[in-house]
């Protein structure tokens, strides 16, 4: 490999860490990281900031290789001579040989500059000197193409979660060398992704994440900050004892977590959050796109579908595809995907193996190496319930028909609109909030999205509506929307809706589960969502409820592809607390829940859900024909 060391040293771009030899290794039948030389660079951006970048180049330099780039705020570790144990999106890529590049984004770990969460995209046409994650990617790719002599002129980009956001940014005014991008579980808009859901805070996720990720980094470092110590394994107890959200700073953060402070002074969807919405900028996308996500992604399900659908709408000429499997957040790269919690899926081949072999690897091989004849469909979706892969030429599918399930006053779900009107009510007490899981954890359990919901349905502050046993299979495909007509004796309330698949009493146990876990009458959560009622008319301009006055709350529940099998029941649960997954609404309207809530503002209230007539509460969906 030829390197202009004088130029590199003058520009302060090269860190003299080169591992391994230039000798071609003896054939072993298996490629490992030892078959790659590792280089570390400080790549200059247009404003003079240098970004720390690790580059792994195959020692066999007889060929030109495409570059696979991963930009991350989570560290490119290990630093120095030590190498990563795995390179690329899956083991297949290291065997095939690519040039693997990992970069600390601006302001994180060993990169210079100031880090900005979800850094807003700038107006490059009128301000070409402005920097953002799009320009940082462009400048990085341009430098790599010109300075890594073994590259073939083609670049692919991938990343999961926050790195998925950076992958999406790469599609905006993309460098000509970028041919393929895979945003995987990408954050798109932090008011609706991750720890925000329709104005409600996913408390353990946001608190725990920012407690470490949001720590100040005064200078470049290779180290993570200290992890937060809850002092107890019981997250329900910890967050209940914390009291109002303002106590997060008073007791724990002490205003040392800058983004938590920013979040607390921007509770509504104002210009602060709107500037961080990446979706309006995803237009005229030129590289091929593969959006990846999981049905049970507790963090970035919104971003996954919103990214795909926005590119589809605003870039009609883009080769844009989506794949969704039965995975938790990042499960396609970090697990076999054959089960989540006590619910099991396909075992042979496991969903992750199928995806890596038949979707992800061929995608990058085709666009970066020109290998194979890519015949990927528009949408490859795993149908839960039947546990099989399905392909579609559009998503949502074309051949569907609208259907509604109506709530009835006697707690049934009816496919026809009920003639009787009425309501069901419950007392919601923030001091005795409904737990989101039976598990003891201080975090957001990944398994909660398939957990058995019987523990919740047996509480008096959870309304349960259920069909009779289905006489035939019913497959729901696409978007779900719950239309609730509600009232409260208070002035504020959250509304949680859960779609549940109730197994028959004689449903056989899964062989992979412990012998104490029985699946008969299991209530598997299929989809769920929370909506902070103050935003029922506008996310920008919240309004209190008028006590006793009926109001409409529309709750989007994200997409789904699930078959309720013959003999199963469909169930809906409605509740107002979901703790500590969601922070407690005091149920007395305050202007800013983060800053203004006092202990005495947490009050019990009686909530009603109305049925029939002009106030018929229901859930709307599409049936796959």
Global pTM exceeds 0.85: yes
Q: Distance between CA atoms of 369 and 385, rounded to whole angstroms?
A: 37
Q: Distance between CA atoms of 125 and 374, rounded to whole angstroms?
A: 35
Q: Exposed, middle or buried by CB within 10 Å (0-12, 13-18, 19+), for 32? A: middle
Q: Distance between CA atoms of 344 and 323, rounded to whole angstroms?
A: 19
Q: Distance between CA atoms of 427 and 575, rounded to whole angstroms?
A: 10
pLDDT at residue 10 is higher than 60: no
If one compares 258 and 373, the residue with the highest pLDDT of the two is: 258
Give the total residue count for the chain.
625
Q: Distance between CA atoms of 610 and 343, rounded to whole angstroms?
A: 33
pLDDT at residue 16 is higher than 50: no
Query: Taking all residues of the chain, what is their mean pLDDT, rounded to a whole number?
Result: 94
pLDDT for 29: 59
pLDDT for 4: 34
Q: Distance between CA atoms of 293 and 310, rounded to whole angstroms?
A: 15
If one compares 5 and 194, the residue with the highest pLDDT of the two is: 194
pLDDT for 24: 31
pLDDT cut 70: percent of the chain above it: 95
User: Is 134 in a helix, a strand, or coil?
Assistant: helix
pLDDT for 62: 80
pLDDT (average), residues 141-162: 98
pLDDT for 101: 98
pLDDT (average), residues 192-205: 96
DSSP string across 187-248: ---TTTSTTEETTEEBHHHHHHHHHHHTS--SS--S---PPP--SSS-HHHHHHHH-STTHI
Predicted confidence (pLDDT) per residue in 305-341, tens digit: 999 999 999 999 999 999 999 999 999 999 999 999 9
pLDDT at residue 20 is higher than 60: no
Predicted confidence (pLDDT) per residue in 579-608, tens digit: 999 999 999 999 999 999 999 999 999 999
Predicted confidence (pLDDT) per residue in 375-405, tens digit: 899 999 999 999 999 999 999 999 999 999 9
Cis before 450 (ω within 30): no
pLDDT for 373: 87
pLDDT for 492: 98
What domains does the chain contain, in order, with CATH numbers?
5-21+36-189+276-392 (3.40.50.1820), 400-624 (2.60.120.260)
Residue 11: other Cβ atoms inside 10 A = 14
pLDDT at residue 14 is higher than 80: no
pLDDT at residue 25 is higher than 80: no
Place of tokens 């799009």: 134
User: What CA–CA distances, in Å, run from 391 to 137, 345, 612?
Assistant: 32, 17, 38
Residue 286: other Cβ atoms inside 10 A = 17
pLDDT for 11: 35
pLDDT at residue 27 is higher than 50: no
Q: Exposed, middle or buried by CB within 10 Å (0-12, 13-18, 19+), for 27? A: exposed
pLDDT confidence band for 2 (50 / 70 / 90): very low
Residue 107: other Cβ atoms inside 10 A = 18
pLDDT confidence band for 262 (50 / 70 / 90): very high
pLDDT for 128: 84
pLDDT for 238: 98
User: Is 448 in a helix, a strand, or coil?
Assistant: helix
Q: Which two tokens stand for residue 376?
A: 């990927």
pLDDT confidence band for 21 (50 / 70 / 90): very low
Q: What's the half-sphere exposure (Cβ side, CA atoms, 13 Å) at 102? A: 22
């Amino acid at each position: 490999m030829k390197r202009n060391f004088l130029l590199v040293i003058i520009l302060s771009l090269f860190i003299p860490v080169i591992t391994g030899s230039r000798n071609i290794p003896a054939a072993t039948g298996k490629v490992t990281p030892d078959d790659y030389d590792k280089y570390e660079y400080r790549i200059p951006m247009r404003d003079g900031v240098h970004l720390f970048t690790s580059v792994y180049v195959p020692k066999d330099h007889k060929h030109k290789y495409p570059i696979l780039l991963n930009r991350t705020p989570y560290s490119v570790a290990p630093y120095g001579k030590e190498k990563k144990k795995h390179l690329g999106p899956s083991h297949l890529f290291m065997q095939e040989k690519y040039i693997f590049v990992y970069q600390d984004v601006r302001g994180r770990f060993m990169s210079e500059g100031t880090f900005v969460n979800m850094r807003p995209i700038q107006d490059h046409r009128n301000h070409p000197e402005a920097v953002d994650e799009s320009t940082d990617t462009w400048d990085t790719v341009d430098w790599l193409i010109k300075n890594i002599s073994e590259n073939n002129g083609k670049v692919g980009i991938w990343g999961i979660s926050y790195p998925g956001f950076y992958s999406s940014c790469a599609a905006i005014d993309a460098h000509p060398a970028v041919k393929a991008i895979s945003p995987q579980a990408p954050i798109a808009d932090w008011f609706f992704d991750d720890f925000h859901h329709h104005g409600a805070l996913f408390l353990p996720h946001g608190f725990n994440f920012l407690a470490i990720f949001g720590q100040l980094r005064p200078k470049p470092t290779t180290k993570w900050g200290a992890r937060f110590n809850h002092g107890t394994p019981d997250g329900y107890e910890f967050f209940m004892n914390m009291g109002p959200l303002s106590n997060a700073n008073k007791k724990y953060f002490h205003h040392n977590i800058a983004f938590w402070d920013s979040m607390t002074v921007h509770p509504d969807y104002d210009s602060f959050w709107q500037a961080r919405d990446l979706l309006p900028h995803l237009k005229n996308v030129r590289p091929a796109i593969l959006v990846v996500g999981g049905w049970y992604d507790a963090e970035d399900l919104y971003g996954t579908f919103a990214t795909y659908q926005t590119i589809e709408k605003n870039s009609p000429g883009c080769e844009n595809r989506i794949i969704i499997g039965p995975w938790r957040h990042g499960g396609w790269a970090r697990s076999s995907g054959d089960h989540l919690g006590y619910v099991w899926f396909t075992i042979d081949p496991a969903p992750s193996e199928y995806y890596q072999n038949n979707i992800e690897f061929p995608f990058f091989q085709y666009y970066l190496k020109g290998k194979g004849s890519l015949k990927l469909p528009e949408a490859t979706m795993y149908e839960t319930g039947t546990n099989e892969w399905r392909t579609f030429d559009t998503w949502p599918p074309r051949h569907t028909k609208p259907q509604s399930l109506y709530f009835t006053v006697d707690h049934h779900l009816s496919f026809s609109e009920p003639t009787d009107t009425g309501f069901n009510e419950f007392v919601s007490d923030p001091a005795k909030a409904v737990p989101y899981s039976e598990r003891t954890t201080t975090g957001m359990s990944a398994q909660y999205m398939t957990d058995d919901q019987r523990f919740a349905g047996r509480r008096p502050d959870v309304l349960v509506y259920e069909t009779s046993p289905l006489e035939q299979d019913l497959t729901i495909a696409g978007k779900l929307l719950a239309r609730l007509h509600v009232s409260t004796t208070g002035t504020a309330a959250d509304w949680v809706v859960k779609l549940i698949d109730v197994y028959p009493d004689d449903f056989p146990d899964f062989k992979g589960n412990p012998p104490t876990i029985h699946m008969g009458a299991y209530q598997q959560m299929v989809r769920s969502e929370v909506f902070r009622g103050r935003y029922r008319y506008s996310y920008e301009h919240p309004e209190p409820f008028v006590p006793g006055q009926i109001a409409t709350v529309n709750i989007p529940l994200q997409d789904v592809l699930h078959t309720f099998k013959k003999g199963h029941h469909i169930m809906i649960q409605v509740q107002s607390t979901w703790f500590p997954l969601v922070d407690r609404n005091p149920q007395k309207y305050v202007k800013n829940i983060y800053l203004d809530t006092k202990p005495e503002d947490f009050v019990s209230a009686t909530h009603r859900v109305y049925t029939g007539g002009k106030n018929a509460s229901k859930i709307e969906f599409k049936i796959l024909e």
